[in-house]
Amino acid sequence: MTGILSSSFHAADRLVRINPSPSTAAAARVRELKAAGRRILDLTVGEPDFDTPEHIKQAAIAAIEAGETKYTPVNGTPQLRQAIRASLRRTHGIEYSDAELTVGGGGKQVIFLALMATVDVGDEVLIPAPYWVSYPDMVRANDGTPVIVPTSPEDGYKLTPQGLEAAIGERTTWLILNSPGNPSGAVYTADELAALAEVLRRHPAVSVLSDEIYSEISFTGSPAPSLAAVAPDLRHRVLVVTGVSKSYAMTGWRLGYAAGDPALIGAINTLQSQTSSCPSSISQAAAAAALAGPQDFIAESVPVYQARRDAAVAGLRSIDGLVPAVPDGAFYLYVDCSGLIGKRTTDGTVLEDDQDVTLHLLDEAGVAVIQGSAYGQSPCFRISFATDLGTITDAVDAISEAVGALR
């Protein structure tokens, strides 16, 4: 912020309260090192390395050629809304109406607008840690107070009913629940969601923002369960947020959506109408094709992710001082590196925290990962296995060598 504040530009308080995304900063550092000629094995990027399926790209091309390049309704084209309803019916068994749907420029925008529509100064939002890096800052940007709720590796990095009950206060407005989770890959079972629902029934003022962007990337044999389906009596209090970015390798298309209570959806759509008016019409056509068309891509890509996961887990488990948590979904590994804290590098530098560990891996192994402190749980680091198996294998070998050199 120093450069901004020293110029004639005056930063609003909300900007001072938030930080740039650590994952974006890590990716920028990797690009700098590569530009300088360093060979960097990049395990930071949380996006599929697959290309967008051909039939989805062709749908976008057809939309352009048909002149579908104008404004659309705020909550999406009729074709997209129909595809979203069918997708949610297929994955959750829930029938949503058009009045219960909102569409935005990625799930991230939808989450931001949901918080903007509901959070006042002093309102608290519960965020289980480890968490996706953007949650706390999005809460702060909208004048709320993020309340971080620790979880443990013994509980699979998942919120327990006891932890939820203890964290709820008089100003609690939202619980953010992310399953499969980033960075842990943790997937809540139906029974675990039912137990959380029991707590929520005792606290009717608390709504749940259920971030399910990775729901289709599940290694359990079926999409990750949704609280809205497990506890249908709480459906009006659950905002299901998802999109096409991760499941269909469409991160750059920027198309996300949510389903929830019509009053909340209406408020989000009002804000949407005053921000970007509507998402890209071309991206909407592509997303409709993704959701309504063949689902072969998901069926084919998930086993590939699982094979990469298994290779990364096996390799990292063999390294003294590292303990990876085996994820049931998404494409991340959260690795406990507490066994490396206090060790010295060859030049005598002591590794005092997980940021020191990640810098050591970058400098000595040429492997880029993200420190656990960015996700609210230390000492750990996150790797993404949304990259090819060769890169993963080479990275694990390089990490092993760098760790082996510690004293």
Q: How far apart are CA 257 and CA 91, in angstroms?
A: 15
What three-state secondary structure class fits 355?
A: helix
Bridge partners (DSSP) listed for residue 210: 177, 240
- Per-residue pLDDT tens for 41-81? 999 989 999 999 999 999 999 999 999 999 999 999 999 99
Choose one of 279, 294, 309: the last residue of a domain: 294
Same structural domain, 85 and 225: yes
**114 alpha carbon, distance to own chain's centre:** 16
Position 65 in a domain: no
- Per-residue pLDDT tens for 78-136? 999 999 999 999 999 999 999 999 999 999 999 999 999 999 999 999 999 999 999 99
Position 265 in a domain: yes
Same structural domain, 290 and 336: no
- Per-residue pLDDT tens for 214-260? 999 999 999 999 999 999 999 999 999 999 999 999 999 999 999 99
Write the DSSP assignment of 216-276 as a string of letters.
TSBSSSSPPP-HHHH-GGGGGGEEEEEESTTTTT-GGG--EEEE--HHHHHHHHHHHHTTT
The candidate with the shortest Cα–Cα distance to 52, out of 256, 241, 308, 287, is 287
Residue 336 has pLDDT above 50, yes or no: yes
For residue 1 the two structure tokens come to: 């912020």
CB 210 within 8 A of CB 228: yes
Residues with Cβ < 8 Å from 301, sequence gap 6 or more?
A: 48, 50, 217, 249
Same structural domain, 234 and 123: yes
- Per-residue pLDDT tens for 141-154? 999 999 999 999 99
Same structural domain, 288 and 303: no
Position 86 in a domain: yes
Same structural domain, 15 and 75: no
Choose one of 294, 313, 328: the last residue of a domain: 294
Q: What are phi and psi of 45, to 5 degrees?
A: -80, 125
- pLDDT-based confidence at residue 1 (cuts at 50, 70, 90): very low
Task: List Cα–Cα distances, 246 to 51, 253, 293, in angstroms.
Answer: 11, 11, 16
Number of domains in the chain: 2
Choose one of 239, 268, 294: the last residue of a domain: 294
The CATH number covering residue 289 comes to: 3.40.640.10
Same structural domain, 231 and 305: no
What three-state secondary structure class fits 327?
A: coil
Q: How far apart are CA 126 and CA 147, in angstroms?
A: 5
Position 200 in a domain: yes
Q: How far apart are CA 43 and CA 55, in angstroms?
A: 29
What three-state secondary structure class fits 320?
A: coil
Q: How far apart are CA 369 and CA 363, in angstroms?
A: 11
Write the DSSP assignment of 115-141 as a string of letters.
HHHH--TT-EEEEEES--THHHHHHHH
Same structural domain, 211 and 342: no
The CATH number covering residue 9 comes to: 3.90.1150.10
Same structural domain, 274 and 307: no
Same structural domain, 193 and 323: no
For residue 161 the two structure tokens come to: 């009913």
DSSP summary character for residue 211:
E
Residue 22 has pLDDT above 90, yes or no: no
The candidate with the shortest Cα–Cα distance to 212, out of 292, 79, 110, 357, is 110
Same structural domain, 86 and 232: yes
Position 361 in a domain: yes
Q: What is the CA radius of gyration of the chain?
A: 21
Tell the burial category of 328 from Cβ atoms under 10 Å away from its Cβ (0-12, 13-18, 19+). buried
Position 203 in a domain: yes
What's the confidence (pLDDT) of residue 2?
Answer: 47
Same structural domain, 211 and 91: yes
Mean pLDDT of 9-33: 79
Task: List Cα–Cα distances, 214 to 6, 15, 134, 179, 210, in angstroms.
Answer: 41, 29, 16, 7, 11
Position 159 in a domain: yes
Same structural domain, 387 and 309: yes
Buried b vs exposed e over 127-152: b needs ≥16 C-beta within 10 Å? bbbbbbbbbbbbbbbbbbbbbbbebe
Proportion of the chain above pLDDT 70, given as a percent: 98
Distance between first and last Cα of the chain: 38
- Per-residue pLDDT tens for 381-394? 999 999 999 999 99
- pLDDT-based confidence at residue 13 (cuts at 50, 70, 90): confident
What's the confidence (pLDDT) of residue 7?
Answer: 60
Element (H, E) at 368: strand 367-368
Tokens 């009002």 found at: 270
Handedness of CA 32, 35, 36, 42 (dihedral sign): positive
CB 341 within 8 A of CB 357: yes
Query: Domain span at residue 395?
Result: 2-51+297-404
Residues 200, 229, 218, 387: what is their CA dihedral angle, to the nearest 10 degrees?
-80
CB 331 within 8 A of CB 337: no
Position 41 in a domain: yes
Q: How far apart are CA 320 and CA 367, in angstroms?
A: 17
